[in-house]
Structure 1
Amino acid sequence: MVTNPAPRKHLVLRNANFRALWLSSTVGILGGSVTAIALPIIAAVELGASDFAVAALSGMVFLPWLLFGLPVGVIVDRHRRRPIILISLVLRVLLLATLPVAYWLGVLTTAQLFVVSFLTGLTAVYFTLAEAALIPRAVDREELIEGNGLMTGSGASADAVGRGLGGWLTSAVGASNSLLVQVAASAASFAAILRLKVDEQLPAAPGKRHIWREMGSGLRYTMSTTPLRVLLLVAALWNLGGNIVVSLLVLLVVRTLGQNGTWLGFLMAATALGGTLGGLTVKWLSDRFGSGVVWRFSMFPAAAGYALLLLMTPGWGMLPGFFGLFLTGLAISMNIVVSTSFRQRVCPPDMMGRLGSATRMVSWGMLAVASLAAGVLASTVGVRGGIVTGIVIALLAPVIASFGPLRGVRHLEDLEPEPGPAGDAPEVPCGTAVPVAFPSDPRRVRPEADRTKEAEALLDK
């Protein structure tokens, strides 16, 4: 008699290591979301900072990616990732705690906001790269989209709760006092990582290889294939345009429309709610339509969502912005999951730190550039004019994705090098078999015979 197999347990229940990473990431995002609402409110309301300072402040947390992303990636690849995460969490708690203390003493300044934002952003570089490098070790290769989808979905839920909570707390107890939520969240994240039991072998000693050469190798790998280059360009353009919009949202809500922090938190929570749904449904959509299709077309509705912000008016007229940001969060979370999963599939574990740092140096570095650009735009063409400029730039991303070299790819997984004769994945980082001149049918591209020698030569350059 044929019996149906027992239903498989949820990934969070069956995998203790993934559960530890998932808990740490989720609770950390909740605390970070409160801070994301509180910091610009502190600058705009409690300290009366200029429009440029309010817009530029959100970029300080991403500026370390542009300045230090590559060397931190090398450090992450040279050391065990779990201790790096723990140390970064301790430093984050200490740094953030200085802000409410300074507020209580009456000495808090805009300069301190910028410095603390920058330094906590630097700790986030270590934390994020180490966490991303551990995910492929915590789950099987075929579980990557499921795992990343769960991380994105639950993270977006926590983001929604955190932003709504942050908007309420800034009005109830003050923006500076609400930062204590992230202090507590970082402590809880620390406790979750203590339960992580991933087997990490200490990487081989780097020998005579200099850190600058390893940084260069990571950047070259990131640019070595057409798929990785296109994914990076699309992400950079979207982050540049999209974060101009997000950086100006505070000024649009608080100063142009005269609404309080509660409405700002409400709007930002809508993005996270959409991201929750996107993270939880991306696997189904990828299986049905193809990850390449999801990646290409998800950014069009996301840009349309940003455009709805321009229709907002005070009071209930804020609802178009809520629906728009919900749509943006839904679409972009899908895009992030499929592109991140592709990079994790094609890159070996000992290169994950460098690949992640090089990728984020460019794409997340654009978030810092966007905030500075938003400050300039707010001072020259106004808040609404700046938002229109950001939307136009962001639209370039889906245009390139839809009409560029990857336009014919249905499944990004088809671009992954084939396993070797023994059935194991070849030791070639990041799909180096894909040639620079992209063919008419990318799915037919397969590893060349001498791919391993080419990869080793690339490292030694």
Structure 2
Amino acid sequence: MSHTEAAKKPLVLRNSNFGRLWISSTAGIFGTAVTSIALPVIAVTELDATNATVAVLSGMTFLPWLLFALPIGVLVDRHRRRPLIVVSLAVRTLLLASLPVAWWLDALTTVQLFAVSFGAGLAAVFFTLGEQALVPLAVNREELVEGNGLMTGSGALGDAGGRAVGGWVTDAWGASNALLLQVGASVASLVAILRLDITEPLPDRQKDRKVLRDMAEGLRYTFSTVPLRMLLITGALWNLGGNIVVSLLVLLVIRSLGETPGMLGLLTAATAAGGTLGGLSAKRITARFGSGRVWRYSMFPVVAGYATLLFITPGRGMTAGFIGLFIAGFSISLNIVVSTTFRQRVCPPEMLGRLGSAQRMVTWGMLAVAAFSAGLLVEAVDIRGGILTGILVAALAPLAAAFGPLRRVRDLADLEPPRPASNAADAGQPAA
């Protein structure tokens, strides 16, 4: 087959290593989506937790990013990434499997639910940072937009399927039993990672390098340029406001509107379905309009989409929410692909773990802060008042992008520093 003919094949077919990463990521996201539906429903229906408890629960998964992302990022840069991914996936699977076992034994408690959520989130820090650092080793620089688009799009599809199936299975089997789907998905993810054939560069383990120094280096790099700072600020603002909304959605749908967990799963799956289309369309849209423009304006439709949740009612009145969340998911995916690709292209390979950890410590750490904020807001201004507050906070993100220092940039690629042609990262790994 000629080089031209091979290039026409989808990346997942012409590059088997990327295909294995893609399978692992998609299966993992499917399982995570099931868990994201099951855990709050366990709290609501099986443990009869308070509104504030349910809202705070969603933040436990992301709290490890705020507390431990920086030191874990250093570990990811100092060790082979694949073994870290394998161990962390196995630990997370065992933790989540303990919940249905405890339910069968009539021993499940809110304390265990919070502890498992935190532990599973801590494991996710390891495999998420490790996976992100492996993508540039599996593809060359010119394939990053396509690769990130496929990862984001298929991940959103796995998220949509996981939420829809998770909602249905939660209705049919019970919320705790639904977590058995996550166990199966994690096994598939593990098998795919074990079949990777990527030669990782020898990690830097110089004895004179200190963990705190490496952590500080990653944090400094995250704030080192205007583009990286703006991506960080807008991501943090969006996650703070957006996750206040998401943290209260289960209470809005199940307790306020009296709908079923199945309806909750379908509603949140609309976001993921939109994300699938957005991820798969990202390469074409950024080529047409420019990645800078896509990054600046993609968050405005997300705010409008989330605002539809203020007007949903039971039954047919849920339609506005489905449409709004679909649009939100589409636009979020575009923003993620553009931001992720830019970071991967400008960051030296040996810094990828630390850049990812520092960036996510702030942006994903805001998801935990948002959940705790939602717990306070639901007591102070009720569910819809909390959702409105989250929407107003999230609106600050597109405003900062549209009127900030990058407001006239058409393509973020124009802001990349020059790289020597001999750089190993440009060469990537050959397709297996």
| Range class of TM-score, shorter chain | over 0.9
Match of 2:65 in 1: 65
Task: Work out whether 1:326 is the aligned partner of 2:329.
Answer: no
Alignment of 1:162-241 (within 5 A): 162-241=162-241
Shift of 1:426: 10
Match of 1:131 in 2: 131
Partners of 1:34 and 1:179 within 8 A in 2 = yes
Higher RCO by CA contacts (8 Å cutoff, separation 6 or greater): 2
Match of 2:351 in 1: 351
Tell me the alpha carbon deviations over residues 271-308 of structure 1, each in whole angstroms, 9 at most, x when there is no partner.
00000000000110100000000000000000000000
Partners of 1:78 and 1:206 within 8 A in 2 = no
Match of 1:105 in 2: 105
Shift of 1:419: 2.8
Task: Work out whether 1:158 is the aligned partner of 2:163.
Answer: no
Shift of 1:97: 1.0
Bigger-Rg structure (1/2): 1
Task: Output the TM-score relative to the length of structure 2.
Answer: 0.96
Name the CA distance, whole Å, in 1 between partners of 2:133 and 2:332.
Answer: 22
Shift of 1:89: 1.0
Shift of 1:205: 2.1
Shift of 1:136: 0.4
Name the CA distance, whole Å, in 2 between partners of 1:157 and 1:81.
Answer: 25
Task: Output the TM-score relative to the length of structure 1.
Answer: 0.90
Shift of 1:201: 2.7
Shift of 1:207: 1.6
Structure in which a larger fraction of residues adopt helix = 2
- Letter of the 2:353 counterpart: G
Match of 1:394 in 2: 394
Query: Which structure 2 segments of 5+ residues have no match?
Result: 426-432
Match of 2:404 in 1: 404
Partners of 2:77 and 2:204 within 8 A in 1 = no
- Letter of the 2:214 counterpart: E
Alignment of 1:6-85 (within 5 A): 6=5, 8-85=8-85
- Letter of the 2:252 counterpart: L
Match of 2:372 in 1: 372
Name the CA distance, whole Å, in 2 between partners of 1:398 and 1:326.
Answer: 18
Match of 2:428 in 1: none
Name the CA distance, whole Å, in 1 between partners of 2:267 and 2:296.
Answer: 26
What RMSD, in angstroms, separates the aligned Cα atoms of the two structures?
A: 1.3
Match of 1:149 in 2: 149
Task: Work out whether 1:336 is the aligned partner of 2:336.
Answer: yes
Shift of 1:4: 11
Name the CA distance, whole Å, in 2 between partners of 1:258 and 1:4.
Answer: 57
Tell me the alpha carbon deviations over residues 292-334 of structure 1, each in whole angstroms, 9 at most, x when there is no partner.
0000000000000000011100111111111111010000010
Shift of 1:424: 3.7
- Letter of the 2:32 counterpart: G
Name the CA distance, whole Å, in 2 between partners of 1:200 and 1:150.
Answer: 22
Between the two proteins, the alignment pairs up a number of residues equal to: 423
Match of 2:294 in 1: 294
- Letter of the 1:27 counterpart: A
Query: Which structure 1 segments of 5+ residues have no match?
Result: 428-461
Name the CA distance, whole Å, in 2 between partners of 1:206 and 1:200.
Answer: 17
Name the CA distance, whole Å, in 1 between partners of 2:339 and 2:41.
Answer: 33
Name the CA distance, whole Å, in 2 between partners of 1:4 and 1:191.
Answer: 30
Name the CA distance, whole Å, in 2 between partners of 1:193 and 1:419.
Answer: 30
Name the CA distance, whole Å, in 1 between partners of 2:23 and 2:95.
Answer: 22
For the residue of structure 2 that corresponds to 1:58, the secondary structure is: helix
- Letter of the 2:179 counterpart: L
- Letter of the 2:382 counterpart: G
Name the CA distance, whole Å, in 1 between partners of 2:147 and 2:372.
Answer: 34
Name the CA distance, whole Å, in 1 between partners of 2:55 and 2:272.
Answer: 20
- Letter of the 2:380 counterpart: T
Name the CA distance, whole Å, in 2 between partners of 1:92 and 1:230.
Answer: 33
Name the CA distance, whole Å, in 2 between partners of 1:254 and 1:145.
Answer: 38
- Letter of the 2:39 counterpart: L
Shift of 1:190: 0.4
Partners of 1:153 and 1:278 within 8 A in 2 = yes
- Letter of the 2:414 counterpart: D
Name the CA distance, whole Å, in 2 between partners of 1:426 and 1:75.
Answer: 22
Name the CA distance, whole Å, in 2 between partners of 1:240 and 1:5.
Answer: 45
Shift of 1:425: 5.0
User: Structure 1 39/4 Cα, relative in aligned 2: closer, same or farther at 3 Å?
Assistant: closer
Match of 2:281 in 1: 281
* Identical positions, percent: 65
